[in-house]
Structure 1
Amino acid sequence: MKSIYILILLISLNNYSQKKTESKALDIKKEINIILNNWHKAAAEANFEDYFNAMSEESIFIGTDATENWNKKAFMNFAKPYFDKGKAWNFKTLERNIYSSLNGEIVWFDELLNTQMKICRGSGILIKENGTWKIKHYVLSMTIPNNISNDVIKIKAPIEDALIDTLQKQ
């Protein structure tokens, strides 16, 4: 009889632990959604300070062009003229998936965005720095419907063939 009580206790503790873990994951997802929504909002409102404060000092932003692989400082330099004109970019989230590490210190996500380039995909990683979530890595990609990919390849081939040659010579 004693072993039945121990078994029930162990099952109860396991269920409690599992529910606590699920609750923490939901809290993280809510927090990350707010951070990413505010980050996109800061760009739409040309709020340079809020936009870049959301990013880690060692962050990387990879844009849609093959040459766009910026550290935070380089990305700030690229983006500043857009923000200074009062019009950066306006990305509206259509769909977002958020995942977190078991210890809740690292988050990765992917999102579909409605942009001036039509649907784009963003993906990235956030880490906790001194108790605050920071965007560490972000990749923005244009989506290309499969049924027109050959047409797009023909358009971009001359530009990217030249870049391929340059990169292969390095």
Structure 2
Amino acid sequence: MKRLLLACCMLLCSLAAHSSPASPANPADPALTRQVNAFVDLWHADAAHARLAFFDKIAKDGVYIGTDKTERWRRDEFKAWARPHFKRKSAWAFKPLRRNVAFSEDGSIIWFDELLDTQMGICQASGVMRRKGDSFEIVHYQLSMAIPNEVSSQVTRLIRDFEAKDGWKGGPR
């Protein structure tokens, strides 16, 4: 009986390991994970060196969500807004500290999350990409500032006070 239970446990563990989604700890396709990492690293480098190729890596129907609650950009809107930043030596520099990559079984849809060192401090981001021929395109990217839980009430108060000011015209786009 013990042998039967042990065999069943081993079989279940084996099945679970083979059916889990791709991740850095258990990549189903390490080559695809390397390609995705190289693509996202190049995308960040494009911004760091103010190369307009940054926008070519975003799908025409892609969305970029920035840290301000008014920032939900379609690619071409984002490109127009960011144009002054890309006239400088560097638009912005995001240095990945950690990235987790996963993908659909056929590798056509990829999703990732990353921890970034930025001019705003440590940020978190998540993205969705799809295959486009031999490359990829970013369909959705969301950037957020990583606020420690211990100071979140102070940050919430600052935001509330800022938004309560007369004349502030911000808000969802």
Matches within 5 A, 1:1-170: 25-48=29-52, 50-160=53-163
CA distance in 2, matches of 1:131, 1:160: 46
TM-score (norm 2): 0.78
Root-mean-square deviation over aligned CA pairs: 2.5
How many positions carry a matched residue from both structures?
149
Question: CA offsets per residue over residues 56-99 of structure 1, 9 Å max, x none?
Answer: 11110000000000000110011110011222000000000000
Could you report, residue by residue, the CA deviation over 1:8-57 in whole angstroms, capped at 9, with x for unpaired residues? xxxxxxxxxx7xx9876211100000000000001001111x21111111
Q: Which runs of 5+ in 2 are unaligned?
A: 1-17
Distance 1:152 1:31, change over 3 A: same
TM-score normalised by length of structure 1: 0.79
Deviation at 1:132, TM superposition (A): 2.4
Partner of 2:3: none
Output the CA distance in 2 between the equivalents of 1:129 and 1:73: 19
Of the two, which has the highest radius of gyration?
Answer: 1
Identity of matched residues, %: 36
Runs of 4+ in 1 over 2 A off after TM superposition: 21-24, 129-132, 158-163
Q: Which residue of 2 aligns with 1:12?
A: none
- Structure 1 stretches of 5 or more lacking a match? 1-17
